[in-house]
Amino acid sequence: MKTDFKVEQIVKLISYLTGLTGFVSVSRHVSYSYSLLFLSLLILSLVFEKKNIFFFPRWLLNAIASAFILMTVLNTTYANLIEKVIEMLLFLLAVKFLEDKKSRDHLQIYAIAVFLLLGSALLSVDLLFLAYFLTLIFLCSLAVIFLAYLSEEPSLRMEREVCAKVVSKALLIPVFAIPLTMVFFILLPRPFSPLLKVPVPGQKGVTGFSEGVKLGEVSEIQEDDSTVFRVNMREVPSSLLYWRGIVFDYFDGRGWSMSNKSVLEKMGRHPVSGEEIEQTVFLEPYNHKYLFALDIPISVNNTRTSRVFTSPLPRGIQKRIRYEAVSVFSERIAAGGINEDIYLQLYDGISSAITDLAKRITAGRSGRAKIDSILEYFAKEKFRYSMEGLPVSSSPLEDFLFRLRYGNCEYFASSTAVMLRAAGIPARVVGGFKGAEYNEMGAYYLVQQRNAHLWVEAYVKGEGWVRVDPTPSTRELFIEEGRRDIFFRMKQAFDVANYFWNGFVIDYDLRRQFSIFLRIGEGIKKPAFNLDLSIEKEKAGHYFIVFMLIVLLAAGFVMLLTRRMPQEMKIIGKFHKKMKRYGYERMPNEGLEEFVSRIGDEDLRSRAEAFAADFGMLYYKDQKFTRVHARRLSEKIKEIKPGKAKLS
Amino acid sequence: MYILLTVFLALVSANSGLNLVYLITSALLSFMVISGILGKANLTGIDVEIETSAELYAGSRFPLRIRVLNRRRRLPGFMFRVHVEEMSKFLPYVGTRSESSAYIDFIFDRRGMRRVDEIYLCSAFPFNFFVRCRRIKKPFDFLVFPEPKNCEVFARIEELVKRSGESPSGKPGFYPEMISIRDYAHGDPLKYINWKATAKTDRLKTKELSSAFFNPVIISFDDVQINNHEEKLSCLAFAVLRLYRSGVPFGFIIRDKLYPPQASNSHKKAVLTELALYGAHED
Write down which residue in B89, B120, B145 finishes a domain: B145
Kindly determine whether residue B92 and residue A153, on different chains, have CB atoms separated by under 8 Å.
yes
| Residue from A345, A286, A334, A280 nearest A309 by CA | A334
Indicate whether B235 belongs to any domain. yes
pLDDT value of position A557? 59
B227 or A270: which leads in pLDDT:
B227
Mean pLDDT of A112-120: 88
Q: Do B175 and B118 share a structural domain? A: no
Domain contains B78 = yes
Tell me if B112 sits within 8 A of B280, measured CB to CB: yes
Q: How far is B7 from chain A (nearest CA, A)?
A: 13
A619 strand-pairing partners: none
Residue that wins the pLDDT comparison between B77 and A286 = B77
Give residue-wise pLDDT tens across range A583-631.
888 877 677 888 888 888 888 888 888 888 888 877 766 566 777 788 8
Indicate whether B111 belongs to any domain: yes
The predicted pLDDT at position A262 comes to 58
* Angle subtended at Cα A305 by Cα A300 and Cα A308, rounded to the nearest 5 degrees: 145
Query: Tell me: the pLDDT tens digits for A118-166?
Result: 888 877 767 788 889 899 989 988 988 898 898 888 888 888 888 888 8
Kind plus residue range of the DSSP H or E element containing A247: strand A242-248
CATH of the domain at B129: 2.60.40.10
Of B213 and A239, the one with more pLDDT: A239
Q: Residue B281 domain-assigned?
A: no
> What is the pLDDT confidence band of residue B281, given thresholds at 50, 70 and 90?
low
- Residues B175-222 have pLDDT tens digits of 445 657 778 777 676 777 888 888 888 788 887 665 545 678 889 988
- Interchain CB distance below 8 Å, B20 and A169: no
User: Residue B222 sits in which domain range?
Assistant: 152-276
Residue B197 sits in the same domain as residue B159: yes
Inter-chain residue contact B13 with A149, CB threshold 8 Å: no
CA separation for the pair A44, A255 (Å, rounded): 57
CA A354-A359-A363 angle, 5° bins: 155
B90 and B182 in a common domain: no
Is residue B25 situated within a structural domain? no
- Cross-chain Cβ contact A145/B125 below 8 Å: yes
Residue A282 and residue A502 in contact, taking contact as beta carbons nearer than 8 Å: yes
Same-domain check for residues B108 and B165: no
Which residue among B17, B22, B27 places its CB closest to the CB of A137?
A: B27
Restricting to A residues 271-310, those with a Cβ less than 8 Å away from any Cβ of B are none
Residue A470 · residue A384 · CB < 8 Å: no
**pLDDT(A478) > 50:** no
- Do B197 and B232 lie in one domain? The reply is yes
Residue that terminates a domain, selected from B145, B176, B196: B145
Residue A192: closest C-alpha in chain B: B17
Instruction: State percent of chain A over pLDDT 90.
Output: 9
pLDDT at res. A556: 62
**pLDDT for the residue numbered A647:** 36
The answer to whether the Cβ–Cβ distance between B125 and A148 falls below 8 Å is yes
Does residue B18 fall inside a structural domain?
A: no
Q: Residue B18: which of A122, A152, A176 has the nearest Cβ?
A: A122
In this structure, are B134 and B238 located in the same domain? no
Cβ(A373)–Cβ(A361) under 8 Å? yes
Residue-wise burial string across B21-39, b where 16 or more C-beta atoms lie within 10 A, e elsewhere: bbbbbbbbbbbbebbeebb
Question: Could you tell me which residue, A338 or A78, shows the higher pLDDT?
Answer: A338
Does A24 have pLDDT greater than 50? yes
Nearest CA in chain B to A162: B93
B108 and B187 together in one domain: no
Q: What is the pLDDT of residue A263?
A: 55
Residue B50 has pLDDT above 80, yes or no: yes
The residue among B145, B180, B195 that closes a domain is B145
Q: Report pLDDT for A584.
A: 86
CB contact under 8 A, A194 and B16: yes
Work out the pLDDT band at A638, boundaries 50, 70, 90.
confident
Q: pLDDT band at A522, cuts 50/70/90?
A: confident
Q: Which amino acid is at A282?
A: F
- Specify which of A39-53, A295-309, B6-20, B177-191 reaches the highest per-range mean pLDDT: A39-53
Give domain status of residue B38, yes or no.
no
pLDDT band at A550 (very low <50, low <70, confident <90, very high): low
Whether B78 contacts chain A with CB within 8 A: yes
Nearest CB among B21, B75, B92 relative to A121 is that of: B21
Q: Read off the pLDDT of each residue in B263-275 and give the average, rounded to a whole number.
A: 91
Res A538 pLDDT > 50: no
DSSP assignment, residue B193? B
- At residue B235 the predicted structure's pLDDT band, cuts being 50, 70 and 90, is very high
Report how many domains make up chain B: 2
Q: Give which of B55, B274, B249, B242 is closest to B164, Cα–Cα.
A: B249
- Does the distance separating the beta carbons of B96 and A564 come in below 8 Å? yes
Mean pLDDT (chain A) is: 80
Q: Which amino acid is at B233?
A: L
Task: Provide the pLDDT for residue A205.
Answer: 46
Q: What would the mean pLDDT of A563-572 be, rounded to a whole number? A: 70
In A321-426, where do the E strands start and end?
321-328, 332-333, 335-337, 384-385, 406-407
- pLDDT at res. B267: 92
Mean pLDDT of A422-426: 90
Q: What is the band of A558 on the pLDDT scale with cuts at 50, 70, 90?
A: low
Query: pLDDT tens digits for A270-316?
Result: 677 778 899 999 888 877 888 899 988 888 888 888 777 888 888 87
Digit-coded pLDDT (tens) for A379-403: 888 888 887 777 777 788 888 888 8
